[in-house]
C-alpha cells in the first residue's frame, strides 16, 4: 500500500474487503468502537450494511465513503447525520483505517478530502466529530484538519463493556 490516498462513495463490491479488514482488526478496534454482532464481520453482513448506507445516501442523510490507497480499500469515512436545512447545514464525520495502512497519513488525507466533500458537494457549514479521550492519533488527525475540541460528552458510548467519555470536535466550513 503506497501513500496515495483518495476517497469515493462506498459500493456493494467493497463488502469483501471491508469484512476482511474488520476481522483482522477486531482486537485493535475493540477499544474504540461499539460491539457488533458476528454477522457484521462477514461479507454478507457488510453487504447488508452497505445497502443500508447507500439508502441513507439516497435519502440525503449521509455520505458513506471508502478510503483507498493505490485503488485498494483500506478504510471507511462517513459523513453522517446530515442536517441540510439552511439554518443548520451540519454533519458528523467518522472514519477508520485498517491496521496495516495506519501511520502513513491516509487518515489525515482522507479527512481532508471528506471536508472538501462536506463543503463543495454537500454545502455544509459545520463539521463535527467525536473521539475517545484516549484516542490521541485520531485527535491529531482532526487537529491537523482544522478541527478544534469543544467539549466532553460524559458516558457517551458503551465500548468494550464500559461507558466512555467522548471528546467533541468541530470545524466551521463556511461563513
Out of 22-26, 73-77, 80-84, the most confident range is 73-77
CATH code of the domain containing 75: 3.40.630.30
What size, in residues, is the chain? Answer: 175
Domain assignment of residue 92, yes or no: yes
Residue 1 domain-assigned? no
Domain count, the chain: 1
Residue 21, number of CB atoms within 10 A of its CB: 23
Q: Given a cut of 80, is residue 3 above it in pLDDT?
A: no
Chain segment 35-69, per-residue pLDDT in tens: 788 898 899 999 999 999 999 999 999 999 999 99
What is the structure's pLDDT at 87?
Answer: 85
Q: Locate 109 and state its grid cell.
A: 488525507
Residue with cell 495506519: 102
pLDDT at position 26: 85
Closest among 116, 96, 99 to 107, alpha carbons compared: 96
pLDDT score of 175: 60
Q: What angle do helix axes 136-144 and 106-116 make, rounded to 10 degrees?
A: 50
CA distances from 90 to 82, 126, 174 (A): 6, 5, 11
Strands 90-97 and 126-132: parallel
pLDDT at 146 > cutoff 60: yes
Amino acid at each position: 500500500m503506497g501513500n496515495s490516498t483518495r476517497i469515493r462513495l462506498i459500493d456493494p463490491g467493497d463488502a469483501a474487503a471491508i469484512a476482511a479488514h474488520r476481522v483482522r482488526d477486531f482486537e485493535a478496534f475493540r477499544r474504540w468502537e461499539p460491539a457488533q454482532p458476528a454477522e457484521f464481520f462477514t461479507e454478507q453482513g457488510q453487504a447488508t450494511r452497505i445497502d443500508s448506507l447507500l439508502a441513507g445516501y439516497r435519502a440525503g442523510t449521509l455520505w458513506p465513503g471508502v478510503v483507498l490507497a493505490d485503488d485498494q480499500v483500506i478504510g471507511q469515512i462517513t459523513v453522517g447525520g446530515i442536517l441540510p436545512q439552511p439554518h443548520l447545514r451540519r454533519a458528523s464525520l467518522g472514519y477508520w483505517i485498517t491496521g496495516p495502512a495506519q501511520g502513513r497519513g491516509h487518515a489525515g488525507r482522507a479527512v481532508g478530502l471528506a471536508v472538501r466533500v462536506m463543503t463543495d458537494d454537500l454545502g455544509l457549514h459545520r463539521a463535527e466529530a467525536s473521539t475517545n479521550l484516549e484516542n490521541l492519533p485520531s485527535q491529531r488527525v482532526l487537529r491537523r484538519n482544522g478541527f478544534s475540541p469543544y467539549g466532553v460528552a460524559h458516558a457517551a458510548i458503551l465500548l468494550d463493556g464500559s461507558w466512555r467519555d467522548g471528546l467533541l470536535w468541530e470545524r466551521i466550513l463556511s461563513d
